[in-house]
Amino acid sequence: MPRPPSMPARLLAAVLGASACLAPLPLLAQTTAERAAIEKVPPLSKGEIQLSFAPVVKKAAPSVVNVYASHVEKRNPRSSAMAEFMRRFFGEDAPGRGLGGTPGERAQRSLGSGVIVDASGLVITNNHVIENMNEVKVSLADRREFEASIVLRDPRTDLAVLKIKTPGDVAPMPIGDSDHLEVGDFVMAIGNPFGVGQTVTQGIISALARTQVGSSDYQFFIQTDAAINPGNSGGALVDLKGHLVGVNTAIYSQSGGSHGIGFAIPASMIKAVVETAKAGGTTVRRPWLGARLQTVTPDIAESVGLDRPTGVLVASMQPKSPAEESGLKRGDIVLTIDGQPVDDPEAFGYRFALKGITGKAVFGVQRGAKKQTVEVKLGPAPETRPRDVLKVRSRSPFAGATLVNTSPAVAEEMQVDLPGEGVAVTDVDENSIAARAGFKKGDVIIAINGSTVNSTKDLERMTRDSLGIWEISINRGGSVLTSVFRG
């Protein structure tokens, strides 16, 4: 039903009908008043007062689940008996029981949220919710509870896929299109904050393509002011159609609670991970470019005639890589991938990772003052030699470190530039000798006491005997560092 004209509008119509000799300025003033009156009116019907997000929640909430993950370890009977003795006589929680475990077990537990994304019972959640866990249960909104298996872990995106065992009738949530979100769009966050039960909060999209969050390798997050708290991890960010547009993954907080700055992984990345799981994959394979990219500075942009600093600069390329074979050149600026703009290396990494490992991608490139397109063949990074994983346990500065032979595949997984030869550190145990010696993930061992280290077998042979002095050279981010350790 159309609204009746406001009093100023009716008055203006009467005056105009009586005289056509009004001066221009009063007319302008009257028109401004009329517009203000039309824009600022109270609700005129009960329906306008009762506008609600409830229909969207009813549609989306059944798809959001609580995720309970645990890691149970069997313990030595003697240590379990001592733990039981301590609990009985000193009133302490027996370490052997962990968090509610039985004697002889040690349990760690994690609580989060997830979203059903397929009628077969596939659930998307955060990898950090189930990291290091070996038992998972999910609880549906209708209080049904199921055991679930871990189908796929993808630490680089902080996503994981679970499969509900014997799911029965479940309600999957459609995956939406995060590429068409705009700042200011209404969204809702649904999850299980602090374990209190399913909770819905509402807000807007505060920003898109946030790249300085640090919770995964692919920095391209949706920012929202919808309240997200611990326990919301893995839960749904939902648009007004009831579609999944993001998986809530992190918050900015100095207190542990919501400050109105939450981050979600976009639906476009979720789709890629879910499709891999549907196809039976246990790991997500992504395309390899084989180039080192840099941010475009204002000076670089000005030198090639760009009106603003955008895109990524090709700083170098590996021999026989897709980048080199496509015809890309050092100094090229990549502006788009298949028509999607890329503003910085993080945006490039995100867009390129979505392309899969078959077919081609078309790069929009600025070369000098000219724009052109370059076709890049998509494929996974090659494993040019066996990894030969080595966990060092011998008495040496490397004790507690895990090392592998370098290759393009290893460099791609670790998201670091690695030389073609050498041994890379992939992990360092906390409080280990290697950690105290200062070794970090991504370090490449070059030499020990002047002898070149080409493989993990070389390093294993060199560390068999305890030496009085260890002179170790490493490549860290392109810089060669040499340190001396005394054994």
Of 434, 460, 443, which is closest to residue 406 (Cα–Cα)?
443
- The annotated binding site for substrate is made up of 128, 158, 231-233
Burial class (CB in 10 A: 0-12, 13-18, 19+), 305: exposed
The total of other beta-carbon atoms located within 10 Å of residue 213's CB is: 18
Point out which residues pair with 189 in neighbouring strands: 201, 237
Of 453, 440, 433, 451, which is closest to residue 479 (Cα–Cα)?
440
Spatial separation of the C-alpha atoms in residues 405 and 445, rounded to whole Å: 10
418-427: long-range contacts, CB 8 A cutoff, minimum separation 24: 418/442, 418/444, 419/444, 419/475, 420/384, 421/454, 422/446, 422/453, 422/454, 422/475, 423/390, 423/453, 423/454, 423/455, 423/456, 423/458, 423/459, 425/401, 426/389, 426/402, 427/401, 427/402
Q: What are the two backbone dihedrals, phi and then psi, of residue 142, each rounded to the nearest 5 degrees?
A: -90, 15
Q: Mark whether 216 is an active-site residue.
A: no
Q: Are 311 and 328 in contact (CB under 8 A)?
A: no
Q: Mark whether 6 is an active-site residue.
A: no
DSSP H stretches of helix in 235-297: 267-278
Q: Are 416 and 443 in contact (CB under 8 A)?
A: no
Please tell me which residue in 110, 113, 118, 158 is annotated as part of the active site.
Answer: 158
DSSP letter at 61 equals G
Q: What are the two backbone dihedrals, phi and then psi, of residue 192, each rounded to the nearest 5 degrees?
A: -125, 70
Enclosing H/E stretch for 175: none
- The annotated binding site is made up of 128, 158, 231-233
Retrieve residue 285's tokens. 């394979």
Q: How long, in residues, is the chain? A: 487
Burial class (CB in 10 A: 0-12, 13-18, 19+), 298: exposed
- Name, in order, each residue with C-beta under 8 angstroms of 149's C-beta and a sequence gap of 6 or more: 136, 162, 163, 165
Torsion sign over Cα 118, 120, 121, 126: negative
Please tell me which residue in 110, 128, 216, 332 is annotated as part of the active site.
Answer: 128
Secondary structure E strands in 14-165: 64-74, 105-116, 122-126, 135-139, 145-154, 159-164
Q: What are the two backbone dihedrals, phi and then psi, of residue 85, each rounded to the nearest 5 degrees?
A: -60, -45
Q: What are the two backbone dihedrals, phi and then psi, of residue 370, each rounded to the nearest 5 degrees?
A: -110, 145
Q: Mark whether 483 is an active-site residue.
A: no
Spatial separation of the C-alpha atoms in residues 61 and 244, rounded to whole Å: 11
Please tell me which residue in 233, 321, 407, 455 is annotated as part of the active site.
Answer: 233
Enzyme catalytic residues:
128, 158, 233
